[in-house]
Chain A
Amino acid sequence: MTSLPRAITLAPQSQPRAPAVSRRGARRRARREKATAWAFIAPSVLVILGLGIVPVVWSLLLSFRADDLVTPGRWVGLDNYRALAQDPNFHTAVGNTLLYSALFVPLSLLGGLALALALNRRIRFIGLYRTLLFIPFVVSAAAQGVLFSFILDPEFGAANSLLHKFGISPQGFLTDPDQAMYLLVLISLWSGVGFCVVVYLAALQDVPRELVEAARIDGAGRWRVLRHITLPALTPVTVFLLLWQLITALQVFDLVYVTTKGGPLGSTTVIVYFVWQQAFQMFTAGYGAAAAYVLALALLVAGVALRVVRRRQGRVVEGALR
């Protein structure tokens, strides 16, 4: 910034005959430009890489150690991973996370697509309908959790009160190990489907009109237009949503913490909850870090697999549009 005045004196000359600027001046300017650029990105680099890349490496190192975050730890090699392989609680957590993801991801995508198709029309109140379907998305997981703990409270909740009116016996809901996980999926769908709807609705506006009209002229019905034109055109968005919802699902934590704390009987202990418990409740941070790494690896594999699929499907879409 100290060389600011020089730029002012240089500028009028450089405007009429740019090539006349000396090479030294240009070099100086390039150097100053570099310094400015670094000054601009320094805070971002520090925060993002310092609290992004560094912890990833640190976590890996931690996973080879026995560490309670307070006293100095010691190196234990692969012991944490070996212990994880035999830990029934970890197996349960992996199973629960997979069950949650296997339900939440496809249902939110299918539901989102169906709702987007239904909402993709110009009728009265359509803006209101869209707003109402989307609004739960902005409600925090903590607020959702507190709200549904109340609604689903076996004694005081509205849900049992409603069931009572229809003569159905009271349910345990989130206190019932057979129901808790499915209810968490339902709550997540209530709040999460709106995101898919919004993204699909935006994508539907980009479906090539000429194609749809041409198919209709050729005598294609609604279903065939949907199957052969709309869905293929939506494929890139679907792949994005699949990846996004999968990442979200594999990381579910807040809702579990607020509603069930992993219970009843461990039926809703998901991986992130397990990691959090190990690191900040049991003070076995190294063990928790190892568990986190196992999940990260699963995410990585899912990401790479999806990328491969995306590339292949990209070709299919191009073929369909040709």
Chain B
Amino acid sequence: MSTRTMSNRTMGALKVSARGASWRRVSPWHLLLAPLALAFALPLVWLLLSSVMTNAEINRFPPALWPDGIDLGGYRYVLGNAMFPRWFANSLIVASVAVVSNLLLGSLGGYAFARMRFAGSRVLLGLMLATMVIPFQLTMIPTFLVMKWLGLIDTLGALIVPSLVTPFAVFLFRQFFLTLPREIEEAAWIDGCSRLRVLFSIVMPLARPALATVAVLTFLTTWNDLSWPLIAINHDTQYTLQLGLTTFQGQHHARWSAVMAGNVITVLPVLVAFLLAQKTFVQSLTSSGLKG
């Protein structure tokens, strides 16, 4: 709101340079925002700091708040003695398969719901949307039984199959395709292209925002999930990073620096992905949120 008042007051200056006006004097809002932002960042800074501390630094009382030097013992332990590389690979496999398959199956389904007429399409779409609000604990026991019946428990398959395609992906693609003009497709359709070819060679190249949104949110949710791997996986060779980190912490209470090194490895891919695609990310969240 006060941007509006400011813009009224400094209308002349704004006309010259919108930036110059706000840069010339320091806004008092910094006094509030800077400490706040710092407070939010602090736990993550502490995570990074403690991952390069020695255990001796952590174990003395009161514990050190700043490391004397950078010690990579925690990382060495985690990458050498523990199974973190394996868990990292497992998480990567599960998340990548989920992303690719959500893009593929979600766009196929979304396209059919957006463009094709068939009996029962409205009912089916409604049912799919309804599953979005079904709480996880209601489905987790039967899903476990289904996976057991399929013989997938204790394999990465048990983690992949339920996340192959989400109602969110189907719905998001449908909404996006509905905004595209039909005419572009009709030309190709008349030229005799099959629906599949129209979808992949004409529609998909235009659907980049939707593809990005689905990819980003699918990656985030599958990479970060703990509860389902906890139920579906018992053997530590099949752990994901989240599950591995949690168990590792339980077993290594005295090795906090190693635990924190493992934690950094768990968080880093998502943080990097977020910083690289921040705009897409925030847009996906708000678009999914505001349309809900």
Contact = CB atoms under 8 A, between A and B. Distances in A.
A143 B141 CA distance: 25
B266 A142 contact: yes
B256 A150 contact: yes
B260 A150 contact: yes
Nearest to B136: A251
Interface in A4-28: 4, 7-8, 10-11, 14-15
A41 B112 contact: yes
Contact of A136 (B44, B63, B130): B44
B290 interface: yes
Interface stretch (B78-86, B189-197, B204-212): B189-197
B218 interface: no
Main DSSP-derived SS at the B contact region: helix
Contacts of B15: none
A141 B292 contact: no
In the complex, which of the residues A8, A117, A121, A212 has the most CB atoms of chain B within 10 Å of its own CB atom?
Answer: A121
Interface residues of A, number: 116
B72 interface: no
Interface string A153-192: 1011110111011000000000000000000000000100
B131 A190 contact: no
B16 interface: no
A132 B36 CA distance: 9
A48 B166 contact: yes
B128 A160 contact: no
B224 interface: yes
Interface residues of B, number: 110
B2 A121 contact: yes
- Max chain A C-beta neighbours (<10 A), residue from B18, B26, B41: B41
B142 A11 contact: no
Contacts, number: 336
A202 to B, nearest CB: 4
Interface in A134-155: 134-136, 138-143, 145-151, 153, 155
B143 A51 contact: yes
A146 B105 contact: no
Contact of B266 (A43, A143, A153): A143
A124 B266 CA distance: 32
Given A123-B29, A135-B271, A142-B266, A56 B139 contact: yes
Interface of B: 1-6, 8, 18, 22-23, 26-27, 29-30, 32-34, 36-38, 40-41, 43-44, 46-47, 50, 58-59, 61-65, 105-106, 108-109, 111-113, 116-119, 121, 124, 127-128, 130-131, 133-146, 148, 161-162, 164-167, 170, 190-192, 194-196, 220, 223-227, 230-231, 242-243, 245-246, 249, 256, 259-260, 263, 266-267, 270-271, 274-275, 278, 281-282, 285-286, 289-290, 292
